[in-house]
Amino acid sequence: MTTVTPGRRFYEEQLNYLFAKDVDGLIDNHYNEDAVLVSVDFVVKGRDALKAHFRNYLAMLGNLEVKSTDKFNETDNSAILEASVVSNLGPAHVYDAWIIENGKISYHFTGIK
């Protein structure tokens, strides 16, 4: 029997919001008010900006399918993962790391290859 850890449950919830294209639910329930999303190409700060970013991102991706979660690790206040995905843009590997405070993301580091 596999135990679902808090970090893994959080990740699965994150995916469900993305699959449902529920940006408001994602940001309101998973991101702190002053959360920051960081990639090598951009920085997005605050819930309103995060909502605009994720709406644009999901529209660009179209259909999103996670083929596999290749690596996942967590601590009490963080999680990091690598996943293989397919979208309308084609196959890709995504990388995400979260710093979690009070049950929500304060810092989200992301990348894609």
CATH of the domain at 46: 3.10.450.50
Examine residue 29 and state whether it is found in any structural domain, yes or no. Answer: yes
pLDDT at 34: 98
3-state helix/strand/coil string of 87-110: ECCEEEEEEEEEEEECCEEEEEEE
Across 19-52, b (16+ Cβ under 10 Å) vs e yields: eeeebeebbeebbbeebbbeeeeeebebeeebbe
Domains: count for the chain: 1
Classify residue 59: in a domain, yes or no: yes
What are φ and ψ of residue 17, in 5° steps? -60, -45
85 within 8 A of 64, measured Cβ to Cβ: yes
Containing structural domain, residue 82:
6-112
CB 44 within 8 A of CB 56: no
Which amino acid does the sequence have at 51? K
Query: What pTM was computed for the model?
Result: 0.93
Digitized pLDDT (tens) for each residue of the chain, 113 residues in all: 567 899 999 999 999 999 999 999 999 999 999 999 999 999 999 999 999 999 999 999 999 999 999 999 999 999 999 999 999 999 999 999 999 999 999 999 999 99
pLDDT at 2 (0 to 100) = 61
pLDDT at 18: 97
In a domain, 1, yes or no: no
Contact 96, 18 (CB under 8 A): no
